[in-house]
Chains A and B, each alone.
Chain A
Amino acid sequence: MLRVSNIVVKLPDGKRLVNDVSFTVGRGEFVAILGSSGAGKSLTLRCIVGLTRPSEGEIALMGPSGKSYRTTDVKAQELRRARRHIGLIFQGSNLVKRLTVLENVMLGRLGHINPLRSWLLGFKDAEAREAMVALDRVNMTSCAARLAGSLSGGEMQRVSIARAIHQRPLIYLADEPISSLDPKNAEAIMAILQPLSRETPVIGAFHQPMVVAKYCTRAIGIRSGKIVYDGPAQISARQLEHIYGDSESESYLPVRPSGAQPPFYGSNLQPVLHEGATV
């Protein structure tokens, strides 16, 4: 379970990029964080994993045995220990291109391997077999011996999910995992993440409300650093506009002619273009 409490990220001049964000993520949840660019989605995720230090607040991960790992206000070694339990999935290809697919997946457990053993002996065969199981879950076992640099975008993303699975974390964190993929690959990725979320919670930042409505269990809308929505993933158009609305951050949705009522995105899975749309 992940508990985020009162996170504030301040710029040196006092402006708050993330303003008092709190939420909890528990078992079986597939949480999507929505919001326009610059609203604070990625920053919140980076705070959770410790890549950015928040000015105030606390983030803690709680394991089944009751042990808790904090990622705020901790020293480097404790942060590393906490990171072992967070499975990261990035937007672009973040595989090491000159390693094989299998080696990339095995990197997931590096946090649990002694560095000396890494240097002197490398990985064990048993770890390789476990990694193959993870690859099997994403249907990439046939590519195990290929260099990661030779894969397509969608395949690379699947391998990075396998790496996260191999890590056996307490929670998966995805930063816009499908933004650089075509719709077919995007659906494939979401179809992998959804069953995954039933065993281990998944929290991710997304730009695609329709896809979120189809696969996720819960959505958190962030606007100008504050949470403006926290509820079911099927969001009404009016609520969407509230999340993405024209505040200081740029508007994501196309400008509508006044009076026209946009359709309910949740029930209609095709992206709808109407007059004035620039998408």
Chain B
Amino acid sequence: MSIDVPAGALPSRKFGLTVVYLLSTVAAMSLLFWYLGVSPSSFWVDSRFIVDLFQQMFPPNFALFWTKSSLFISLIETLSMAFLATICGGLIALFLAFFAATNTTPHPLIRLAVRTLLVMNRSVPHLIIILVLLIAVGIGPFAGALTLIFASVGMYGKFFADSIEQADKGTLESVQSLGSTRLQTIRYAVLPQVMPSFVANLFYAFDHNLRAAIPLGVFGGGGIGFELAFAHGLLHYKDVMAYTILIVLMITGMERISDWARRSIITQPQLITK
């Protein structure tokens, strides 16, 4: 005995749909590759060339780690750029966020203005910012740090504004009913609720800024990215490999540390929420 299967649930029909999805994905990929001018032959590289390149790159020039003292200074520079940008950018973003949230803004027009500012800030590509700043303040980590601050404000301003808007209305109203000023309301009702996510986002922002600091360094923003690009320009591939390994270690290491730090702060919420 068999009962009719509803037409939409028939396995053969579903199989047909899956095949269509897969084929269209393959077709789309082929189209994209064709547009880019990529063909299988583009990936074919002469094996002798690869071997030669390999010999040029390995073994990495680890000797740099103790001969070149400026190397670790560059590392600290990159870390500093990320740290500074996270703290300053985060604080500025938080400050602006209060103007961009419906429940804490003094006037809806201000809110609109700040929101638009944040959106524009977010969308402007970092490339143009660093290029302009390089001309304005010169080559070096200052330009890099300013770019990151600029970028962080845009990215996290929206985030913080959203989380401020999600603050519990009841708490807000009860504090307001005591006759407190707007500033006091913010300090006692909104801030404690927003702080945990603010601090957590600071850690994520640090990870993100650390990775972003490297391309900025390549363009002249200082730090280890700068060293890497310099060595690359000189075709010193062994140095490049050494720097690469250093960068990977730094990023992976800092991610672990910030993860640990974030977790240990989360377990002590009273520290943040006052």
Residues on A facing B (Cβ under 8 Å)? 100, 102-103, 106, 121-130, 132-133, 135-136, 141, 144-145
Q: With A130-B2, A132-B3 given, is the CB distance from A122 to B9 under 8 Å?
A: no
Residues on the A chain within 8 Å of B41, using CB = none
Residues of chain B in range 14-68 having any CB-CB distance to chain A below 8 Å: 14-15, 18
Docked Cα-Cα span, A127 to B10, in Å, equals: 10
Name B1's contact: one of A100, A106, A122, A133 (CB within 8 Å). A133
**CB neighbours of B14 from chain A (8 A):** 122
Bits for B52-90, please: 1 = Cβ < 8 Å to A, else 0. 000000000000000000000000000000000000000
Name the distance in Å between B13's Cβ and chain A's nearest Cβ.
9
Q: Is the CB of B8 within 8 A of A145?
A: yes
Q: Cβ of A132 and Cβ of B4 under 8 Å apart?
A: yes
- Interchain Cβ contacts under 8 Å between A and B, 11 examples: A122-B15, A125-B5, A128-B5, A128-B9, A128-B10, A128-B11, A133-B2, A141-B3, A144-B6, A145-B6, A145-B9
> Nearest Cβ in chain A — how far from B102, in angstroms?
34
CB pair B9–A123 under 8 Å, yes or no, is no
Q: Which residues on the A side are within 8 Å of B15 (C-beta)?
A: 121-122
**What residues of chain B lie closer than 8 Å to A125, measured between beta carbons?**
5, 10-12
Contacts of A132 in B (CB 8 A): 2-5
A-B contact count (CB 8 A): 45
Residues of B within 8 A of A127 (CB): 11
Contact A102/B18 with A129-B3, A130-B2, A136-B3 known, Cβ cut-off 8 Å: no
Nearest neighbor of B1 in chain A, beta-carbon distance: A133
Whether A133 contacts B3 in the complex (CB less than 8 A), given A122-B15, A125-B11, comes out as yes
Minimal Cβ-Cβ distance residue in A for B12: A125
Closest chain A residue, CB of each to CB of B2: A129
Indicate if the CB atoms of A129 and B18 lie closer than 8 Å: no
The smallest beta-carbon distance between B16 and chain A, in angstroms, is: 10
- Other A-B contacts than A122-B11, A124-B11, A125-B5, 20 sampled, CB-CB below 8 A, are A102-B6, A102-B9, A122-B14, A122-B15, A122-B18, A126-B2, A128-B11, A129-B4, A129-B5, A132-B2, A132-B4, A133-B1, A133-B2, A133-B3, A136-B3, A141-B3, A144-B5, A144-B6, A145-B6, A145-B8
Chain A residues contacting B4 (CB-CB under 8 Å) are: 129, 132
> Number of contacting residues on B, CB 8 A?
14
Closest B residue to A106 using CB positions: B11
Residue of A nearest to B8 (CB): A145
Question: Within the complex, what minimum Cβ distance (angstroms) separates B220 from chain A?
Answer: 49
Q: How far is the CA of A128 from the CA of B9 in the complex (A)?
A: 8
Q: In the complex, what residues of A have CB within 8 A of residue B18's CB?
A: 122
Q: What is the bound-complex CA distance between A124 and B182, given in angstroms?
A: 66
Bound-complex Cα distance A132 to B10 (A): 11
Nearest chain B residue, comparing its CB with the CB of A120? B15
Please report the C-alpha to C-alpha distance between residue A122 and residue B165 in the assembled complex, in whole angstroms.
47
Of A128, A132, A144, which is in contact with the most chain B CB atoms at under 10 Å from its CB? A128
Q: Report the nearest A residue to B7, measured CB to CB.
A: A145
Measured between beta carbons, the chain A residues less than 8 angstroms from B12 are 124-125
In the assembled complex, the Cα of A100 lies from the Cα of B9 at a distance in Å of 8
Residue of A nearest to B11 (CB): A123
Chain B residues with CB under 8 Å of A100's CB are 9
Per-residue CB proximity of B248-266 to A under 8 Å, as 1/0?
0000000000000000000
Distance (Å) between the CB of B15 and the closest chain A CB? 5
Q: Give the CA-CA distance A100 to B7 in the complex, in Å.
A: 13
Most buried by A among B1, B4, B5, B10: B5
Least CB distance, B7 to chain A, in whole angstroms:
9
* Assembled-state Cα–Cα distance A103/B11 (Å): 9
Q: Which of A100, A102, A103, A121 has the most CB of B within 10 A?
A: A102
Q: Return the chain A residue nearest B5 by Cβ.
A: A128
Q: Which residue of A lies closest to B13 (CB)?
A: A125
Bound: A123/B14 CA distance, A: 9
Q: How far apart sit A133 and B8, CA to CA, in the bound complex (Å)?
A: 17
Q: Tell me the minimal C-beta distance from B109 to chain A in angstroms.
A: 44
* B214 shortest CB reach to chain A, Å: 39
Residues of B contacting A102 with CB < 8 Å? 5-6, 9
In the complex, A125→B11 CA distance in Å? Answer: 6
Which of chain A's residues have a CB closer than 8 A to the CB of B9? 100, 102-103, 128, 144-145
- CB-CB under 8 A from A123, the residues of chain B are 11
* A63 vs B5: C-alpha distance when bound (angstroms): 31
Min distance, Cβ B21 to any Cβ of chain A, angstroms? 13
Nearest first, the 4 A-B pairs at minimum CB distance are: A129-B2, A132-B3, A123-B11, A145-B9
- CB contacts (< 8 Å) of A124 on chain B: these are 11-12
Q: In the docked arrangement, what's the CA distance between A122 and B4, Å?
A: 19
Query: Given the complex of chains A and B, what is the CA–CA distance between A127 and B8 in angstroms?
Result: 15
In angstroms, Cα B3 to Cα A103, docked, is 15
- B178-204 interface with A by 8 A CB criterion: none
Interface positions, chain B 94-133, Cβ under 8 Å from A, are: none
